[in-house]
Structure 1
Amino acid sequence: MNHLKFNNPVIKGFYPDPSICKVGDTYYLACSSFQFFPGVPLFESKDLINWEPIGHALTRPSQIMLEKVNSSGGVFAPTIRHNNGRFYMTTTNDTTRQNFIVWTDDIYGEWSEPIFIEQGGIDPDLYFEGDRVFFMSNGSDEDGRGVILQCEIDIATGNMLTPSHPLWKGTGGRYLESPHMYKINDWYYLMAAEGGTEFGHMITYARSKLLHGPFEAYPHNPVLTNRNLGGYEIQAIGHGDLIQDGEGNWWIFHLGFRQIGQWIPFHHLGREVFLAPVTFHEDGWFTAGHDGTTRREFETDRIGEHVVQQEKKLYTFGNTKRDLEWVYLRHPRLENYKLQEDQLTLTGTAVTLDQADTPTFLAIRQREFNAVITSVVALSGSGEAGITLYMDESHHYDLAIRKRNDQLEAVLRLNIGDIKHVQSVVAIEADQAAKLRIESSPVQYSFSIEVNGQTIPLGTAQTKYLSSEVAGGFTGVVIGLYAVGEDTVADFTKFACEYL
């Protein structure tokens, strides 16, 4: 049989905390979204390698409170499951400290209003067995040590039918989280993440013959981690979910990130979706990846030779859909947005990018290190509009045009923590459309503006200052088109993000 090579990540850019289920011959995957809206992006695939966005689970403000939530607050890790013809998604609003479930009978349509669960913690999981439903999340025991908790719930109301029961305390790594329960053959497997979602991240698991334990840890934990691959591009492997394909093979989908250089341990594209093969052995234990690690490339005979890994290189207004690939900050005022085939018109407000609020802002995730991002911007009013490389309200690089005393000027502003620095300002002719251009490499962004056929450089900035290692938090850089100013209207045309 021919071997297929596939490359990781299989979903690129800021799509953390993947969870997966299978219905018929189709796989469905959900990711976390934090302060961005709509919440919990959804994907589908026929082959585990190529994934298409199909929507979001949280599309209405009534489903999720995001009003002025801090960056990296809001929607934490989801679990997606399918049972008796119905999809269920459970997640945490970490800002309100509430776990909840939404459901749908049509994954391409709307999901239900939230059903809240009293058990606390984060990273909730659902396990169905017959007519019973069990809910798991992380928590603490009486000594303050991390533990996975389980209760039985009424799936229709969210009511707890049993008290929370401690299942497993992990292997001793910090931040025990991401529980997922599976019944495979005669064993219950409980998989989790430990070590924190940084360079020490790892996937561990335990098993039991009984649903409520006691659970015995896999003797060679962690089953999957890159924590000892110093200098390797892919790091922070953890937070996994198992899936069996149509041929009976097992796989694990999990998060990881790509650091910007071999000896430059920073990442700014966010945590992404990775895939590794899983092998069950005669003794009932399973192993994963390449000697317990996830590699950039896997060669396998488990995927049909007809499968070709597709890679989209160009993103424009015309070949993307606003409700699938573009996101807002928190709950948008939709009357301020008008997107046509090749034009986006934004109406500004007084809210700026520096506030934990809802500026006029529409963004798409940065998916690769090497890119060229361009858009023509025409401005009316006294405010500003442009392209922002946005990590959070304290860490973003803004390339914009603005009005100052009836003079139009281009500006490059670097926002790094408490430092708000205007790198350069260039006057341009009033009432003139300008083409903004950003060139991205793993370690640097370069900014310029094109007017009258002339390219004017405005400066450079290092990518690492937009990384999670500097900014903190759990998100990644998004490419935002924005407008600020109550009398400001901006037309964006010929937007393109081309990956090299």
Structure 2
Amino acid sequence: MMKKLFFQRFSLLAITILLSMAGVADAIGQRNANRNAPLFSQFVYEGNDQVYIDNPLGPDEFYTPILQGCYPDPAIVRRGDDYFMVHSSFAMFPGVPIFHSKDLVNWKQIGHVLDRKSQLKVYDSGISAGIYAPAIKFNPFNETFYMITTQFAGGIGNMVVKTKDPFQGWSDPYKLNFEGIDPSMFFDDDGKAYVVHNDAPDAGKELYSGHRVIKIWDYDLEKDQVIAGTDKIIVDGGVDITKKPIWIEMPHIYKKDGRYFLMCAEGGTGGWHSEVIFVSDSPRGPYVPAPNNPILSQRYLNPNRPNRVEWAGHADLVEGPGGKLYGVFLAIRPNEKNRVNIGRETFILPVDWSGEFPVFENGLVPMQPKLKMPAGVVNKTGTEGYFPNGNFTFTENFTTEKLDYRWIGMRGPREDFISVTRRGLQIRPFETNIKEVRPISSLFKRQMHQRFTASTVLEYTPRSEKDLAGMVCYQSELFNYVFGVTKKGKDFYLVLQRTERGKSTIIASEKIDVKKPIHLQIDADGDNYNFNYSFNGTDYTTLGGTVSGDILSTNVAGGFTGNLIGLYATSVNDAQPE
């Protein structure tokens, strides 16, 4: 018996020692992996657009767009004195950025609605798939906020999440049983709930390319599901189907003076984009278009006007401070070559609803970069944690564990590949390349100006030609620039790679010494991009000369996003120096 106990104890001791040794080995392996991980010790983004230099703010003014960069498809809701606004995020992770304000001028990002893998399944989605056109509503009968959207990923489709408090997170998705896109909700005074959305016409009834309809469903608040058999087409084609209107979408229902107003985008999210409105005596129609449609558009204007704003539409209405109505909407500001690199941004205008139908004030004439602030509001943008706009500098020293919400991942959480150390941010390289439709180890921030510089300080010693770390400009997996440090033979190189339609070419490469930190900088002025480097942070050299930002525009790359500036690392690099 004593011998048996001895061997049992010896076996347990041996197993414990082996497990301990394995743990030490794992720790050493992880430490070695981290030792080879690139270290980014600072990031500085500075925007310097001429429009803001030429149009300084007065004490009672604020800028529109209120959110610069790729924050498209805004939707807004008010509860008491609190405003919440959400935006499309496509394959970005986390998804659906959510902002809070007390006055429609000063906005703070409070997080993302979809911040967990159980909510957001975009791990194999192209950048312009994923989350489309969220709507946010508040139901006073159960004191619950709802965010409803379409997720082109994970087999989900149309879905809704909900919360009692947007500051405290949101539920997992409830999958909704209908096709189409751009759903929104409406809660009537009698407590009934409805869902409206864009859909295809009934089978066999499509009259032309871009012919779409708006449908309505009754909604069961207990089951969080549309009620089968209640669907009804309430708009066919658009304002005037004889003119073959395209892409009637993103419907919102508002109730005023006992009548129901259905506001939709029409014309597609491009040069013919607009906002139109209909009226009915019942939420389920029939709806009659207003005689003065569109109520918002920039499509009829002189293309040579200064400070152009285009593609205006996809709007939502909210009562502002003092009872004044406002509308948020998307629009774009093209560069000097009419290209859209920044993406679709969030603008705001006051709305006049003194007549039968609402009209966006100055929404049909050339938009100006400044607006008068609501009475009693003080402009605090860029201070006290409020989101900046105009020209500004954003500095990130990576000294706190909790990064700014403006830093995002692609198809997966940023926490899966980053760690904040005493010396800065480390990125653990994934075995994925930036051209793949999988999660990539790159930390992104949106381009927000036509003229900007973005710079970082990198410490990195690649072990092989498969290792690379540096900066990227990323319009999509098929269109991007990679600017990073890699290895060839016994030497180290800085390379600039251009990828267009998935085909990559090396623009330039330069042998460098990696014993000292290298300063990397992207310097853009409209369509002209320069990828610069320095070893002292003062004297910069351009690698490969000035290159075109064409592939960073939606005009060339397609899709629905703007250029993203990334801090990138990979262990399957294919950018080989020449």
TM-score by structure 2 length? 0.80
2:152 to 86, 94, 103: 94
Q: Match for residue 571 of structure 2?
A: 485
Separation in structure 1 between the aligned mates of residue 450 and residue 424 of structure 2, nearest angstrom: 26
Q: Match for residue 304 of structure 2?
A: 231
1:474 aligns with 2:548: no
Contact 1:225-1:294 at 8 Å conserved across structures? no
1:431 aligns with 2:515: yes
1:243 to 306, 318, 322: 318
Q: Deviations over 1:326-372 (max 9, x none)?
A: 11110247342113577210111220001111111110111111111
What's the offset of the Cα at 1:316? 2.4
**Which structure has the higher relative contact order (CA within 8 Å, separation 6+)?**
2
Q: Which runs of 5+ in 1 are unaligned?
A: 488-500
1:215 aligns with 2:312: no
Contact 2:94-2:413 at 8 Å conserved across structures? no
Contact 2:91-2:411 at 8 Å conserved across structures? yes
Separation in structure 2 between the aligned mates of residue 399 and residue 158 of structure 1, nearest angstrom: 47
Separation in structure 2 between the aligned mates of residue 293 and residue 125 of structure 1, nearest angstrom: 29
What's the offset of the Cα at 1:239? 0.3
Within 5 Å, give how 1:293-372 maps onto structure 2.
Answer: 293=365, 295-300=367-372, 302-304=374-376, 306-307=378-379, 310=382, 311=388, 313-318=392-397, 322=403, 324-332=405-413, 334-340=415-421, 343-372=424-453
Equivalenced residues, count: 483
Separation in structure 1 between the aligned mates of residue 370 and residue 519 of structure 2, nearest angstrom: 41
Contact 1:237-1:294 at 8 Å conserved across structures? no
Q: Match for residue 456 of structure 1?
A: 541
Q: Which deviates the most, 311-320 or 286-295? A: 311-320
Contact 1:149-1:164 at 8 Å conserved across structures? yes
Within 5 Å, give how 1:187-206 maps onto structure 2.
Answer: 187-206=259-278
Separation in structure 2 between the aligned mates of residue 460 and residue 62 of structure 1, nearest angstrom: 43
Letter in 2 for 1:483: A
1:71 aligns with 2:138: no
Letter in 2 for 1:135: V
Q: Match for residue 16 of structure 1?
A: 72
Q: Which deviates the most, 8-17 or 416-425? A: 416-425
Q: Deviations over 1:39-92 (max 9, x none)?
A: 000001122122211100001111122121122000001001112322110000
What's the offset of the Cα at 1:294? 6.1
1:30 aligns with 2:30: no
Q: Which deviates the most, 30-39 or 338-347? A: 338-347
2:494 to 410, 424, 427: 410
What's the offset of the Cα at 1:433? 1.9
Separation in structure 2 between the aligned mates of residue 419 and residue 31 of structure 1, nearest angstrom: 31
Residue 102 to residue 156, structure 1, CA distance change in 2 (3 Å): farther
What's the offset of the Cα at 1:204? 0.6
Separation in structure 1 between the aligned mates of residue 409 and residue 317 of structure 2, nearest angstrom: 31
Contact 1:317-1:341 at 8 Å conserved across structures? no
Letter in 2 for 1:290: N
Residue 427 to residue 285, structure 1, CA distance change in 2 (3 Å): same
- Give the share of equivalent positions with the same residue, in percent: 30
Q: Match for residue 493 of structure 1?
A: none
What's the offset of the Cα at 1:304? 2.9
Contact 1:94-1:122 at 8 Å conserved across structures? no
- Structure with the larger strand share: 1
The residue matched to 2:304 in structure 1 has which SS?
coil
Q: Deviations over 1:300-321 (max 9, x none)?
A: 4744363455446122224895
Residue 266 to residue 454, structure 1, CA distance change in 2 (3 Å): closer
The residue matched to 2:556 in structure 1 has which SS?
helix
Q: Match for residue 275 of structure 1?
A: 348
Q: Match for residue 465 of structure 1?
A: 551
Q: Which deviates the most, 372-381 or 73-82? A: 372-381
Q: Which runs of 5+ in 2 are unaligned?
A: 1-57, 383-387, 574-578
Letter in 2 for 1:98: G
Contact 2:349-2:363 at 8 Å conserved across structures? no
Give the superposed CA RMSD: 2.1
Q: Deviations over 1:189-246 (max 9, x none)?
A: 1000111111111001101121111111010111100012223421100100000113
1:265 aligns with 2:338: yes
Contact 2:258-2:281 at 8 Å conserved across structures? yes
TM-score by structure 1 length? 0.92
Detail structure 1 runs of 4+ shifted over 6 Å in the superposition: none
